[in-house]
């Protein structure tokens, strides 16, 4: 049988912005509802929840215990320096915490939302000065570095603050995704609309959770993100996270030079379209493609039900990480869908024309951005 290339090439649907807007306003889910999609989304979010748990613990550990450490060699070991743990780390029998750092850097770099705004306030500068004063008196290297590069330590503290905030955000998301898996197993969630609703409810419940961060230096507590800053889960961390990681992202290290030479990378950060919703699953496991790290991590925790489903598709075990990436993208559309549903300016059922217009404008703005994303996986 001759191979016909077109038969091996599958093109998914590409809904227009108008179609996406209609779906959002009608309260329909972006991802088509099917039993297979439910398995994919719930199970991949279950494995993601396990991974986020590890990421969250490590990010919070790094921010609290590796604070301003100029050589954080053991930052991925969560304080466990036993030979067995070090051996497993060197043998790469571990979670790829580098991906968590990549996401933190994306948030810090794009710098949107309340958290980033607070990092540029005089109050934050005052707290920073106190911390730096304390650290430079006791750490010779930092004492030399700070006068030479006065922006270095404040920037390191901003990074630590973003790290801790992301750790707190992922704590909530990890629990939410693992709860979703339990709810699905218990038969409480059985469709994609139910999945989106479950996530939306979880986000709304956690929306007002305070985001705070302090470090303990020599028995003394120093606030970095104090309670009085009034930072909260949804607006100040979740929304910037979605903007930085789901939407904008960064061109992957392995391709940045090539793309830059080809004039394919916009100099405007707002124009960036490299986030999780835009990522191409096909190059997964290629060199310098950070999502490969996340796919590998999720592969370690993949529920057997989804694993069996993957074994029956395309190359079976051979391209399992590409399939995880594709399912992950579907699940991220569900999370985005939940976030959009939860942040409509007015209730969708409102008969008020002004409320409807506001919702329409909100949905149109989202639909415009999502129209260029990898919506081919939604069908």
Partner 1 sequence: MLSLLLLIPFLGAATLLLWPSTPAPGRMRAIAITALALQLVWSLRVLVAFDPSFGGMQLEESVAWVESIGLNYQLGVDGLSLPLVLINAALTLVSAVCTRDISQRPRIYFSLLLVISGAVNGAFLAENLLLFFLFYELELIPLWLLISIWGGADRAYAATKFLIFTAISGVLILGAFLGLALFTGTVDFSLTPIVGERLAMGSQVVLLLALLVGFGIKIPLVPFHTWLPDAHTQASTPVSVLLAGVLLKLGTYGVLRFCLGLFPEAWPLIAPGLAIWAAVSVLYGSLAAIAQRDMKRMVAYSSVGHMGTILLAAAAATPLSLLGAVFQMVSHGLISALLFLLVGIVYRKTGTRDLDVLRGLLNPERGLPFTGSLMILGVMASAGLPGMAGFISEFLVFRGSISAFPLATLLCMVGSGLTAVYFLLLVNRAFFGRLAITPPTADPSADGRLDIRLLGVDLRETLPALGLSLAVVGLGVWPAGLGLLGEATSTALAQLPALVAAAQGGLG
Applying CB under 8 A, the residues found at the interface with partner 1 are 2-6, 8-12, 14, 280, 282-286, 314-315, 318-322, 326, 372, 374, 376
- Token readout for 204 is 């709304």
**Beta carbons of 218 and 209 less than 8 angstroms apart:** no
**Residue closer to partner 1, measured from CB, 121 or 314:** 314
Measured CA distances, 118 to 62, 127, 198, 230 (Å): 21, 12, 31, 10
Shortest separation between residue 8's beta carbon and partner 1, angstroms = 5
- The answer to whether residues 328 and 51 touch, using CB atoms and an 8 Å cutoff, is no
Q: Which is nearer to partner 1, 203 or 298 (CB)?
A: 298
Nearest distance from C-beta of residue 78 to partner 1, angstroms? 30
Nearest-10 Cα torsion for 200, 205, 211, 215: -110
Contact 31, 51 (CB under 8 A): no
Sign of CA dihedral 21, 23, 26, 29: negative
If the CB atoms of residues 19 and 280 are measured against partner 1, the closer one turns out to be 280
**167 half-sphere exposure, CB direction, 13 A CA radius:** 21
The distance of closest approach from Cβ of residue 262 to partner 1 in the complex, given in angstroms and rounded to an integer, is: 11
Query: Which position has the token pair 């059985």?
Result: 190
User: For residue 188, which phi and psi values (nearest 5 degrees)?
Assistant: -80, -20
Strand-pairing partners, residue 225, are 213
User: Whose Cβ is closer to partner 1: residue 296's or residue 336's?
Assistant: 296
Comparison of 200 and 374: residue with beta carbon closer to partner 1: 374
Nearer to partner 1, 30 or 199 (CB): 30
Half-sphere exposure for 82 (CA within 13 Å, toward CB): 4
Q: Least separation, in Å, of the C-beta of 80 and partner 1?
A: 32
The rounded distance, in Å, linking the Cα atoms of 160 and 227 is 17
Contact 79/65 with Cβ under 8 angstroms?
yes
The string of DSSP letters for 35-48 reads HHHHHHHHHHHHHH
Give min distance, CB of 12 to partner 1, in A. Answer: 7
Give me the least distance between CB of 30 and partner 1, in Å please.
16
Where do we find the tokens 């915490």? 97
Min dist CB 179 to partner 1, Å, is 31
Taking every pair of Cα atoms in the chain, the longest distance, rounded to a whole number of angstroms, is 76
278 vs 366, which CB is nearer to partner 1?
A: 278
What value, to the nearest 5°, has the Cα angle with vertex 55 and ends 53 and 61? 105
Q: Which is nearer to partner 1, 3 or 84 (CB)?
A: 3
Name the minimum Å distance from CB 257 to partner 1: 13
């Amino acid at each position: 049988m001759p191979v016909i290339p077109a038969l091996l090439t599958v093109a998914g649907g590409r809904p227009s912005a108008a179609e996406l807007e209609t779906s959002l306003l009608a309260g329909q889910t972006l991802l088509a509802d099917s039993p297979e999609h439910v398995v994919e989304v719930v199970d991949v979010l279950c494995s993601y929840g396990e991974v986020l748990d590890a990421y969250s613990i490590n990010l919070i550990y790094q921010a609290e215990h590796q604070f301003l450490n100029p050589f954080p060699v053991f930052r991925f070991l969560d304080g466990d320096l036993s030979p067995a743990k070090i051996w497993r780390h060197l043998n790469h029998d571990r979670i790829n915490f580098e991906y968590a750092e990549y996401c933190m850097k994306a948030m810090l770099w794009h710098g949107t939302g309340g958290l980033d705004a607070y990092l540029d306030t005089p109050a934050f500068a005052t707290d920073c000065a106190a911390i730096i004063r304390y650290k430079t008196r006791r750490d010779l290297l930092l004492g030399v570095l700070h006068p030479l590069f006065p922006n270095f330590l404040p920037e390191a503290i901003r990074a630590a603050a973003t790290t801790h905030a992301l750790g707190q955000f992922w704590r909530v998301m990890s629990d939410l995704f693992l709860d979703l898996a339990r709810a699905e197993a218990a038969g409480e969630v059985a469709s994609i609309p139910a999945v989106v609703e479950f996530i939306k409810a979880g986000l709304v419940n956690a929306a007002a959770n305070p985001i705070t961060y302090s470090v303990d230096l020599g028995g003394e507590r120093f606030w970095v993100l104090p309670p009085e800053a009034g930072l909260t889960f949804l607006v100040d961390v979740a929304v910037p996270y979605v903007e930085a990681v789901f939407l904008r992202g960064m061109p992957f290290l392995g391709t940045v030079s090539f793309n830059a030479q080809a004039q394919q990378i916009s100099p405007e950060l707002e124009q960036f379209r490299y986030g999780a919703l835009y990522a191409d699953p096909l190059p997964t496991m290629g060199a310098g493609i950070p999502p490969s790290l996340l796919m590998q991590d999720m592969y370690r925790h993949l529920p057997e039900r989804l694993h069996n489903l993957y074994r029956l598709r395309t190359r079976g075990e051979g391209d399992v990480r590409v399939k995880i990436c594709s399912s992950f993208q579907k699940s991220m559309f569900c999370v985005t869908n939940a976030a959009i549903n939860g942040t409509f300016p007015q209730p969708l059922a409102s008969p008020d024309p002004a409320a409807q217009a506001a919702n329409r404008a909100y949905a149109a703005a989202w639909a415009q951005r999502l129209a260029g994303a990898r919506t081919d996986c939604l069908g």
